[in-house]
Structures are given as structure tokens and as C-alpha cells.
């Protein structure tokens, strides 16, 4: 993934992370009453925003690593996206259950890939 594509992915992840975080803080409580599900949504938005910021920094880095950007982007979409779907309707999206830990593993792999020379 080029630095320009990483920058664009950071922008989309950042914008949607803020939007989903705001929805979680204001709109989600109107349709979901369980505090643990709301906390899970908030955690997904937080991880999304953290990785958007990290992706932004990586895209501006002189040592841009395309594979790290790809791992973070795919991992964040899988991790946070699957959580959003599961919080909204666990029964309809139960097939996405295994996607969440896989996305988390991809995010971790991206961080560890920063260790590569």
C-alpha cells in the first residue's frame, strides 16, 4: 500500500471512527440498553481511531512500510467492523464472530512488523 493510499485509509478510518464514536455516545443508547454492548462499541471506535492515527503517522514517515499499513487497515476494518455489526444485531451477524479476533491478530501483526528492518 502506497503512502498516499495509507493516508486516504487513515482519513476514512478517522472520519468513520469519530462518526461511530459519536453514534455510540448519543444514538446507540436509544436502540441498545445493555451497558456492556455500549462499552464494546466504544472500544471498537477507540481502536479504530488509534489505528487511524497510527496509519496517518506511518503514511507521513520517511520509513513508510506498505505491509504494516495493509495489516493495520485490514485488521481495523475486520476488528471494529465486525464488532459494530455484532453489537447492532448479534443474531444477524453471528457469522462475523470469528472475524473479530482475526482482525485483532492482523493489527498486532502490523505493530510487530514495525520491528522488521
pLDDT tens per residue, range 63-93: 889 999 999 999 999 999 999 999 999 999 9
**How wide is the angle at C-alpha 54 spanned by C-alphas 46 and 117, nearest 5°?**
140
Band (5; pLDDT cuts 50, 70, 90): very high
Backbone conformation region of residue 116, classed left if phi is above 0, alpha if psi is from -120 to 50, else beta? beta
Q: What is the mean pLDDT of residues 94-102?
A: 96
Taking alpha carbons only, the member of 73, 80, 33 closest to residue 56 is 73
Tens digit of each residue's pLDDT (9 = 90 or more) over 34-52: 999 999 999 999 999 999 9
Question: pTM score, two decimals?
Answer: 0.93
Amino acid at each position: 500500500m502506497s503512502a498516499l493510499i495509507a493516508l486516504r485509509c487513515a482519513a476514512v478510518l478517522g472520519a468513520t471512527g469519530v462518526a461511530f464514536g459519536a453514534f455510540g455516545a448519543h444514538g446507540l443508547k436509544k436502540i441498545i440498553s445493555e451497558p456492556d454492548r455500549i462499552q464494546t462499541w466504544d472500544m471498537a471506535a477507540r481502536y479504530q481511531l488509534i489505528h487511524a492515527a497510527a496509519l496517518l503517522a506511518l503514511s507521513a514517515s520517511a520509513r513508510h512500510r506498505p505491509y504494516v499499513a495493509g495489516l493495520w487497515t485490514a485488521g481495523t476494518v475486520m476488528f471494529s467492523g465486525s464488532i459494530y455489526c455484532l453489537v447492532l444485531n448479534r443474531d444477524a451477524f453471528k457469522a462475523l464472530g470469528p472475524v473479530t479476533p482475526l482482525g485483532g491478530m492482523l493489527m498486532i501483526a502490523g505493530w510487530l512488523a514495525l520491528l522488521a528492518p
